[in-house]
Amino acid sequence: MGLEAEKWCSLEEIAEYLGVTKDTIRNWIKKAHVPAHKIGRQWKFKISEVDNWVKSGKSALD
C-alpha cells in the first residue's frame, strides 16, 4: 500500500471548492497570495496547500 498522490485541481475546481469566482482566484494569483503552480498555460492547485493557506489567515489579507 503506497502513498496515493494528491490530485491537482484546476482553477475552476478550486474556485468551486472555496466558494468564490474564478476572477477572485485570478486576483489572488496576481497578488501572489494563493499557492498556485503554473503547468503549461494552466494554473493548478493542491487542496492541501490551499487549505493550509486559508488556515494560516493569509487569505484574509486584502
Residue 3 lies in a domain: no
What is the overall mean pLDDT for the chain? 88
Residue 15 lies in a domain: yes
Residue range 33-56, pLDDT digits in tens: 889 999 999 999 999 999 999 998
Tell me the residue range of the domain where 49 lies: 9-60
Closest C-alpha to 62, from 19, 18, 32, 21? 32
Residue 2 lies in a domain: no
Structural domain count, the chain: 1
| CB contact set of 50 (below 8 Å; sequence gap of 6+) | 14, 17, 18, 34, 35
Residue 53 lies in a domain: yes
Residue 4 lies in a domain: no
